[in-house]
Structure 1
Amino acid sequence: MSAAAAILCGKRSNYFFEDFQSSPSSSSSPPIPKRIRYFSSSFSPARSNCDSDHSFSAVNIFSDSSVSSSSALDHLLTLFPDMDKQLVERALEECGDDLDSAIKSLNELRLGSGENPRSVAGSSGATQESGSQFFTQGTATTNGDTTPAEDLSAAEVVHMDSTEWVELFVREMMSASNIDDAKARASRALEVLEKSICARATEATACSFQQENIMLKQQFEALIQENAVLKRAVAIQHERQKEFEDRGHELNQLKQSVAQYQEQLRTLEVNNYALSMHLKQAQQSNSIPGRFNPDIF
């Protein structure tokens, strides 16, 4: 738990080892050497409603099974001097006098509280505090205020940028009381992020479909206009074709008329020639010379 907290908080942990001997339980029993490994880390989360820094330390100890409950309580009080004695006793009893489990439980309680452990001395015997629901811490606004996420609309969640998501994840991890709470918060955060991504993708797809629909409508209107122009052009061409056919028919009729007129002209020329010949013959056969009064003849 402490290692996960150190990773999540981005802090480096310092390791140091210390050897000490526990005081003998009786004058006849020899002292029991203990080797304790201390793992300490400091963590200062920045909360919107708290200006003070909180320091957490995680301790892991490996002890012999022969340590009595009173000796284990003394060890726990030595390792956690800032915790209330009743709280330590209650944690030890709940862990069945298991020193390692009690230390782990107290470490989780200290990391989960984020405050002075004495402030939780009057709480119930539970050693792990349940985390608040996801987004109850709210999201930070541009002016530094904190807005509860439950008041945020779906549109605001969808339009959150990467920086806001990072701050939200960090705030949720800082608010986690233990590993299980951190996992639950991370799961809820990822679920909301997935829904946000899906909503954003759906919105982008809908916007793309809308733009494509608008483009198709514009193309359809352009095609309708072109079709109207083509229809008009076809109608004009049809009229011209009909007019051309009519003129062709008239031309044929005129050609026939010209042929008939030419035939009539030739007939008239022949008749005129025949009349000229008759007139000439008549003039040659006239036997009375000179001029005569036409009134007499």
Structure 2
Amino acid sequence: MKSMVTLSVNDLSVQYQSQGKKVQAVDHVTFSFDKNESLGIAGESGCGKSTLGLAIMKTLQENASVSGKILFDGKSILETSDSEFTKDIRWKQISMMFQGAMNSLDPVFTIKKQFEEILKKHNFQGDKKQAIELAISSVGLSHPVLDKYPHEISGGMKQRVIIAMALIMTPRLVIADEPTTALDVLVQAQIMILLKKLKKEGLSIILISHDLGIISEIAEKVGIMYAGQIVEFGNMQEIYKNPKHPYTIALLESIPKLQETKRIIPLKGNPPSLVNPPSGCRFYDRCPQAMEKCKKDPPKIKTESGFVMCWLHE
């Protein structure tokens, strides 16, 4: 019987070499999710979320070194040559909405011209006009937007264009890196409604965000990332109702609730440097429940639907 796993990441590490220093951006990350499931990756800025997405897309900078395994429908992404990956997988099977991408549209070309360049780059053989119009309509935009330049449309429309570009080659998996950042609340809601609609139509999504509230609208599974590691992983429902890692608890407590009036208490301190990450639990200096044994590397404890890396659940 064919495996139902769409994406499996095993012991993935990504290290950047910069000015003679090594930055451990992703540190031995392991997770998987099935077809028709979506995954949320949550954590503070600089925790390695975006690097994880770029590693899956094989679009890391040249100064990055990667180890571990990434399997997409059983095929090893890391062992696939760049030319084969570009030909068969990138944008066709897996695409990505990059962080801040709405500002990366070329200001001197119309939206239509930029769509045409994507299709040309990936040797699209079908009806280009029909494909572009279908992609635009799928994100709730009308045909006239194609003749406009980026500066002539709003931030929300730019973000919809970016989503349409990620979908034009009809991939099965889309990595959305902070797709609602820098958008007003109304436009954020529109983008989330759009992503949920696309998910209902069969698209798998990896949603990267610092906002667990947004992730809860999309994902069946969630990975909590801290200082390059996934410290808790499991079904969304279990993690929301019964979070186990102190960092997960702190993230959930930071979400404003309409029914509650208590003041939100910010998490004190800063994440550790990834240039020389400390031994033991990386949340030790900020954890209200830290113990002496937490200075040792925490065990990976199996939970009902995933795992948690914490001595409290030994």
Q: TM class by shorter-chain length?
A: under 0.3
> Greater strand share, 1 or 2?
2
Q: TM-score, normalised by structure 1?
A: 0.27
> Greater helix share, 1 or 2?
1
Identify the structure with bigger relative contact order (alpha carbons < 8 Å, sequence gap 6+).
2
Q: Which has the larger radius of gyration?
A: 1
